[in-house]
Chain A
Amino acid sequence: SQQGEEDPQALSIQEGENATMNCSYKTSINNLQWYRQNSGRGLVHLILIRSNEREKHSGRLRVTLDTSKKSSSLLITASRAADTASYFCATVPDSNYQLIWGAGTKLIIKP
């Protein structure tokens, strides 16, 4: 079953704006990961945040994790056309360390 659920399913914004995607999950986790997928290609790892961390940054990406609410958010600042892609969160449960994937958020950046 899919534990990670991304919200929204689709997001369309103007270039230069910030994009925020959310991920909710159900069980206790070891870590949570965000990936990007351009159409028809393999996924690219963006950030891994562990259960004892609250925030991580990588370039224009900022990920937060709230274990009390079982949720995470991915913020992309100053969006660019090249950010157009699908974004997936994957949670790694404490119980078996097997990644569980959400359905993804499709992000479209309009020039």
Chain B
Amino acid sequence: KAGVTQTPRYLIKTRGQQVTLSCSPISGHRSVSWYQQTPGQGLQFLFEYFSETQRNKGNFPGRFSGRQFSNSRSEMNVSTLELGDSALYLCASSLATGEKLFFGSGTQLSVL
């Protein structure tokens, strides 16, 4: 069974641009969660989607948004990028909320 796939692996953008990150969960997993990880702030929860519905949302500004498609694939979008958005963005899938998470390798976003 294929693992969680995140694309792209690396991304360089400039301030003010927008970016879309993609995540393909493990087959059969309906829950997809997104995290932001920075050296200073650790692992911060962005949002969770389950069967195309946003189930939980972290404390991030509205510039951060996401969606989930009927095949459980998910995307997250960050608009009007700021320098502080530079981070490793991790996607994880699971069978259900609160259960074992399977993580992708992440997308390393650098904002210049």
Contact = CB atoms under 8 A, between A and B. Distances in A.
A88 interface: yes
A42 B98 contact: no
Nearest to A1: B59
B103 A42 contact: yes
A33 B97 contact: no
Interface of B is mostly: strand
A43 B16 CA distance: 30
B103 A44 contact: yes
What bracket does the count of chain B residues touching chain A fall in?
20 to 34
Interface residues of A, number: 24
B100 A101 contact: no
Contacts of A44: 103
Contacts, number: 54
A96 interface: yes
A45 B42 contact: no
Nearest to A44: B103
Contact of A43 (B56, B97, B101): B101
Interface stretch (B63-71, B72-80, B104-112): B104-112
A98 B98 contact: yes
A45 B56 contact: no
Contacts of B42: 2, 101-104
B109 to A, nearest CB: 13
Given A2-B42, A96-B56, A103-B42, A42 B100 contact: no
A45 B104 CA distance: 12
Contact of A45 (B88, B90, B97, B102): B102
Nearest to B106: A42
12 contacts: A33-B101, A42-B92, A43-B103, A45-B101, A45-B102, A48-B99, A48-B100, A88-B43, A90-B101, A97-B97, A98-B45, A99-B101
